[in-house]
């Protein structure tokens, strides 16, 4: 009798489809249609089909240099976030409730502030008369201001600060799930602290570490405001190249081809990371 009361499987499928249809239509309109338009624009020129825009990515040295600088900045920022974020995530996971809440609040609080505000704050801190140069001069470590902004260094520092939470938070979540009994067992069997960390603690925290690193790498590839303000025209990224092609030259085809190439690189990064860590862990759905 209980089994007969269950709705038929086909009725359940129709109900699920009816519930999903509005969301799928919204995704199609807001995501797939612009993406298809972007691809279409990248292969059109004077009303006809062309691959000249993609050929320029290979033949024009300026395009290659821009991609190289963008990926170099992204790699350095990712490494810096991992190196600096791991101790923060570890401290938050191993601390008591009060200190843990304070650490996490300090990590999350910058996310509530506009990227534009944080970029200008770093300009104030790193400029020739800023806090860093003034402090170094007061300590007698330098005799004249060091150029810390309007270059690649300033861009890397500001981007690292802005993206740090995206490493700390998933890493903290993963560390919290590591069974303390496993660490205690490794130590009781004669493992030194260094051995326990490198052979037990670090491998178990690797999913959160890779998830955060993949997110930081992808997000930094598309940064525009930070390199525009702190780069001073000396740091030229792919996002700036796209904006220049549209704003200065009205080259929608060239800008679209660069966008498609960058999107393909992002998909490749997620694919490679997904070979190690499930993609739902990277995007934060599990």
Q: Where are the domains of the chain?
A: 51-282
- In whole angstroms, give the CA distance from residue 115 to residue 77: 16
Q: How far is 191 from 197, CA to CA, in rounded Å?
A: 9
What's the confidence (pLDDT) of residue 5? 56
pLDDT tens digits, the chain, 286 residues: what are they? 445 555 566 778 788 788 888 888 888 888 888 889 999 999 988 778 888 889 989 999 999 999 999 999 999 999 999 999 999 999 999 888 999 999 999 999 888 888 889 999 999 999 998 889 999 898 888 888 899 998 999 999 999 999 999 999 999 999 998 888 888 888 888 878 888 888 888 888 888 898 899 889 999 998 898 999 998 888 889 999 999 888 887 788 889 999 999 999 988 888 887 777 666 655 554 5
Longest CA–CA separation in the chain, Å = 89
Residues in CB range of 229: below 8 A, 6 or more apart: 116, 119, 120, 123
- Strand, coil or helix: 49: strand
Spatial separation of the C-alpha atoms in residues 78 and 164, rounded to whole Å: 9
C-alpha pair distances (Å), 112 with each of 21, 77, 166: 33, 21, 13
Pick the CATH number of 51-282 from 2.70.98.90, 1.10.3720.10, 1.20.140.10, 3.30.930.10: 1.10.3720.10
pLDDT score, position 279 = 62
Question: What is the model's pTM?
Answer: 0.85
Identify the pLDDT of residue 154.
92
* 3-class DSSP state of 286: coil
Q: Where are the beta strands (DSSP E) in 40-180?
A: 44-45, 48-49
DSSP string, 122-140: HHHHHSTTSHHHHHHHHTT
What is the reported pLDDT for 240? 92
Distance CA 15, CA 160 (A): 46
d(CA 73, CA 236): 10
φ and ψ at residue 278, rounded to 5 degrees: -55, 140
């Amino acid at each position: 009798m209980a089994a007969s009361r269950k709705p038929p499987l086909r009725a359940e499928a129709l109900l699920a489809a009816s519930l999903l249809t509005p969301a799928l239509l919204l995704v199609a309109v807001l995501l797939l249609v612009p993406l298809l338009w972007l691809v279409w624009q990248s292969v059109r020129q004077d009303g006809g089909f062309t691959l000249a825009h993609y050929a320029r990515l290979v033949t024009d040295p300026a395009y290659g240099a821009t991609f190289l600088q963008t990926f170099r900045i992204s790699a350095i920022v990712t490494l810096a976030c991992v190196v600096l974020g791991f101790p923060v995530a570890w401290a938050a996971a191993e601390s008591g409730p009060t200190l843990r809440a304070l650490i996490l609040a300090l990590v999350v609080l910058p996310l509530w502030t506009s990227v534009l505000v944080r970029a200008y704050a770093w300009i104030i801190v790193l400029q020739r008369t800023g806090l860093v140069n003034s402090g170094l001069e007061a300590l007698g470590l330098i005799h004249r201001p060091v150029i810390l902004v309007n270059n690649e260094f300033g861009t890397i520092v500001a981007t690292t600060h802005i993206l740090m939470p995206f490493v700390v938070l998933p890493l903290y979540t993963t560390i919290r799930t590591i069974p303390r009994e496993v660490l205690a067992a490794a130590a009781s069997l004669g493992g030194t602290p260094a051995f326990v960390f490198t052979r037990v603690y670090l491998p178990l925290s690797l999913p959160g570490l890779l998830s955060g690193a993949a997110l930081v790498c992808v997000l930094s590839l598309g940064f525009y405001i930070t390199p525009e303000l702190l780069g001073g025209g000396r740091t030229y990224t792919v996002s700036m190249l796209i904006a220049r092609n549209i704003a200065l030259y009205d080259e929608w085809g060239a800008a679209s081809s660069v966008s498609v190439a960058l999107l393909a690189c992002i998909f490749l990064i997620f694919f490679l990371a997904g070979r190690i860590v499930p993609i739902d862990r990277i995007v934060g759905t599990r």
